[in-house]
A = this chain, B = another copy of it.
Amino acid sequence: MTEDIPQAPSPAREQADRFLRAREVQSVALLEDYVEMIGDLMAEMGEARVADIAERMGVAQPTATKAVARLKREGLAISRPYRGVFLTEAGGTLAEKVRARHRTVVALLVAVGVPEETAELDAEGIEHHVSDSTLRAFERYLSQR
């Protein structure tokens, strides 16, 4: 047998794990975006209609329909055919979390000198990769200054 007990993984393995994590994050990123969007629409108009979701996400209507189907599968939304889409409790909770994280990321970017517009643009992609640990660090940084 080899020298060592379960211990330091190889550098290659560590690096691979980072990429695996990034890919995992990516797979939930779209879900998060849709959930947040549906939350917005529910707040603004009482319900989210597929056409509005599609318009705001910048996708074709059938793409939005398919995304909603996935949200339903994951227990984040409910809907009946030809009717509006609504978030479940889990969906609502996620939407709130995503919204808060988005605000924090934008605020941090602005705090370190990124122009508002750019911050808003970049945050859309960045936010999904901000872990809870990093998010807390951002909050600490923003509060003590």
Contact = CB atoms under 8 A, between A and B. Distances in A.
Given A17-B58, A19-B57, A112 B125 contact: no
A112 B124 contact: no
A137 B113 contact: yes
Interface of A is mostly: helix
A26 to B, nearest CB: 7
Given A18-B120, A58-B19, A112 B138 contact: yes
A131 B118 CA distance: 8
Interface in A101-117: 108-109, 112-115
Contacts of A57: 16, 19
22 contacts: A12-B52, A12-B55, A12-B56, A15-B56, A16-B56, A18-B120, A18-B121, A19-B33, A19-B56, A21-B124, A22-B125, A26-B26, A109-B137, A113-B140, A118-B131, A118-B133, A121-B131, A122-B130, A125-B129, A126-B126, A126-B129, A129-B129
Interface of A: 12, 15-22, 25-26, 33, 52, 55-58, 108-109, 112-115, 118-122, 124-126, 128-131, 133-134, 137-138, 140-141
